[in-house]
Structure 1
């Protein structure tokens, strides 16, 4: 209680962490042993010049330790997910033997609560970013914010269920997928259905659509066939929806690479209850190959 961590004169850069408790683990911590158990920890009014006002932990198995038990029970003591300050409990993924020589960057500090209670992205829009050979998001458990976009739409769809309902297989009525202002390259056809996506509605929209910080203009999705006909083999469309899934696009420009011709539609909708909405959507530079059957950029198939 009312403790403070401040830098030492001998090691100013590697001290000043963990106002109440600082834990460093050398080697690989055996998570199953549950030997680090802070159930009874009481923290009040502690401060630190650097990170971890009450607790700072350095170990390679930081994530696994925080996820032991229910909602961080081995980590947080009397810390409250609802009322405590997130910076009370922080840490860094590293062997403690390296902590004094490999100084952790501020951007790599971990809020421990995020391991068991990851925040939902702003306005419940999970953003994606992928440019082939350029900027790319990362498909991890914390992606979704604009500044930490996911890499693929498929992963973002799963993350909505995980964060909102506790499992990637849980149903969520509407899933909002934002296209980062830097764009998204679709390398392979994407087949979406209600059963696989665990939702009734998928909305694909420009960055922060409908919010005070929405991007100017439209976001871009680029079809990258790259003259590889095998990508379209046995596929109905580059973005297809079935089983009554509602697929809704908002403020998106859809283009394609300049060397290819498409033999399947860009958007394919199948089923009497499936719905397609195109709101401020443009298709440009699209080239289709001649086929034995009529094909368009968008195809809607309704079984009578």
Structure 2
């Protein structure tokens, strides 16, 4: 599959074939496209306008796919062994207006194992957001989920709803630039070192990964030096089980602030957050030149 448009392309529900397909129900009211690892694929429109399209829920009990997702454009992958590059996918020319999905993703819905990496291409989601505005647009316009299309089609809708997120979630910075950590040795309250972690309800697990994320999202690349990095400890607490030395050249900052969950907001946790330094390897050191 390869789609590399050299001129403006309009997609709208005007022809009879389009109208019949959307009325039957399905996903991708304007366009449905998937990437397959076994076939060279690219989607590079200079300008693609999708408007007034609709994704309708299919009520046929024999229909074996999810429906009602992506009023404008449904993008998915199967057998994907690697993230997409900007040579394969570029939505900077995408413009979506007035599309409706009876389920989720009014303009765009993405189903890929590497949807997080896709959202992190370039700056602030530039290769996937099109004319979406971080300030003015509704988050329901662009949504997605981390999985392949075969799993998505067989999953219960309730589980999809639990796992899906607005795409903006994966390219924006945590509120007040506080990256949260959560880890307990008993395994009951653990964050995950995934792209996009850092919010209090989607915490990172390790200090080093959070520092790397801060450099990438604040400084635009891994290894960028940031004047100050802020770490929030979630209400469940944090077990430090390994020695960690705060060195300016490794942490890529000269100043680190460690604070409780959502500090400085009206939602900050009551009391104090807990960092438990485990007997054994657990240690915190501040090297010369570091403000901690």
TM-score (structure 1 length as normaliser): 0.67
2:268 equivalent in structure 1: 214
Report the alpha carbon displacement of residue 75 of structure 1 after superposing the two structures with TM.
3.5
Deviation, structure 1 residue 163: 1.5
Does the CA contact (< 8 Å) of 2:152 and 2:160 recur in 1? no
Structure 2 stretches of 5 or more lacking a match?
1-50
Corresponding residue number in structure 2 for 1:153: 207
Residues in 1 aligned to 2:77 and 2:200: alpha-carbon distance in whole angstroms? 34
Corresponding residue of 1:45: 98
State whether structure 2 residue 183 is matched by structure 1 residue 135.
no
Equivalent pairs counted in the alignment come to: 236
Seen in structure 2, the aligned counterparts of structure 1 residues 82 and 187 have a Cα distance that, compared at 3 Å, is same
Residue 105 of structure 1 corresponds to which residue in structure 2? Answer: 160
Which 4+ runs in 1 deviate beyond 6 A?
none
Gaps of 5+ in 1: 233-237, 248-304
Which of 129, 143, 152 is matched with 1:90 structurally?
A: 143
**Higher CA-based Rg:** 1
Deviations 1:237-268 (A, max 9, x none): x2111231111xxxxxxxxxxxxxxxxxxxxx
> Any idea what the Cα deviations from partners look like across 1:15-68, whole Å, max 9, x if unmatched?
111112224444438846956654543311111121110122333443455555
**Which residue number corresponds to residue 245 of structure 2?**
191
CA distance in 2 between partners of 1:32 and 1:122 (Å): 28
Q: 1:54 aligns with which of 89, 107, 113?
A: 107
Change in 2 beyond 3 A, CA 1:211/1:41: closer
User: For the structure 1 residues 52 and 210, does the alpha-carbon distance in structure 2 shift closer, same or farther, using more than 3 Å as the test?
Assistant: closer
Q: How big is the shift at 1:197?
A: 1.3
Instruction: State the Cα deviation string for residues 180-237 of structure 1 (Å, max 9, x = none).
Output: 1111111122111111111121111222223322211111111212xx4xx38xxxxx
CA distance in 2, matches of 1:60, 1:221: 33
